[in-house]
Structure 1
Amino acid sequence: MDDDYPFDNASAPANDRMSALQASYDAATVEHLANLGVGPGWSCWEIGAGGGSIARWLAERAGADGHVLATDVDTRLLADLPSNTSVVHHDVREEPVPDRKFDLIHARLVLIHFPERDELVAKLSAALAPGGWLVLEEIEARGQTVLETPDEASASVFRSVQGRIIDLLERAGSDVEWAGRLPDVLAGAGLREIGSGRVTTRWPGGGTEIRVLAANSLELADKLAEEGVPAEELEQFRKVLGDPRFTVSSYPLVSAWGRG
Structure 2
Amino acid sequence: MAEYVLDHHLDGERSRLALMSRLLDPMHRRHLEALGVHPGDRTLEVGCGNGSISAWLADRVAPGGTAVADDIDLSLVDVRPPNLELRTDDIVAGPIDAGSFDLVTARAVLHHVADADAALRNLVASLKPGGVILLIEPDFLPVSVAEPPEVEAFWDGWLAWSRDAGIDYHIGRRLAPRLAALGIEDLAGTAETAVYNGGSAWATYWIDTVTELRDQLTASGHLTAALIDGFLTRCADAAWWTETIAFTAVHGRRAPHS
- TM-score by structure 1 length? 0.89
Q: Greater shift after overlay, 123-132 or 110-119?
A: 110-119
Counterpart of 2:165, as a letter, is: A
Q: CA deviation at 1:232?
A: 4.1
Q: CA deviation at 1:202?
A: 1.6
Structure 2 residue aligned with 1:47: 46
Q: CA deviation at 1:91?
A: 2.5
Counterpart of 1:179, as a letter, is: G
Q: Greater shift after overlay, 228-237 or 114-123?
A: 228-237
Structure 2 residue aligned with 1:61: 60
SS at 1:159 equivalent:
helix
CA contact (8 A) 1:16 1:211 kept: no
Matched residue pairs, number?
253
CA distance in 2, matches of 1:111, 1:58: 21
Q: CA deviation at 1:170?
A: 1.6
Structure 2 residue aligned with 1:248: 242
Q: Greater shift after overlay, 60-69 or 9-18?
A: 9-18
Structure 1 residue aligned with 2:14: 15
CA distance in 2, matches of 1:45, 1:252: 24
Unaligned runs of 5+ in 2: none
Q: Greater shift after overlay, 47-56 or 220-229?
A: 220-229
Counterpart of 2:229, as a letter, is: E
CA contact (8 A) 1:25 1:253 kept: no
CA distance in 2, matches of 1:157, 1:139: 22
Q: How many percent of aligned residue pairs carry the same amino acid?
A: 28
Instruction: Write out per-residue CA displacement over residues 35-94 of structure 1, whole angstroms, 9 at most, x where no aligned residue.
Output: 111121110111111122211211111112111111111111101222110122233223
Evaluate the alpha carbon distance shift between residue 115 and residue 15 of structure 1 in structure 2; reply closer, same or farther with a 3 A threshold.
same
- TM-score by structure 2 length? 0.89
Evaluate the alpha carbon distance shift between residue 190 and residue 99 of structure 1 in structure 2; reply closer, same or farther with a 3 A threshold.
closer
SS at 1:69 equivalent:
strand
CA distance in 2, matches of 1:144, 1:225: 20
Unaligned runs of 5+ in 1: none
CA distance in 1, matches of 2:48, 2:204: 19
Alignment partner of 2:201 out of 205, 208, 217: 208
CA RMSD of superposed structures (Å): 2.1
CA distance in 1, matches of 2:69, 2:249: 19
Counterpart of 2:120, as a letter, is: V
Evaluate the alpha carbon distance shift between residue 246 and residue 25 of structure 1 in structure 2; reply closer, same or farther with a 3 A threshold.
same
Q: CA deviation at 1:99?
A: 5.6
Residues 1:184 and 2:184 are matched in the alignment: no
CA distance in 1, matches of 2:197, 2:59: 31
After superposition, where does 1:90-169 map in structure 2 within 5 Å?
A: 90-94=89-93, 96-98=95-97, 101-144=100-143, 155-169=148-162
Structure having greater relative contact order (Cα 8 Å, sep ≥ 6): 1
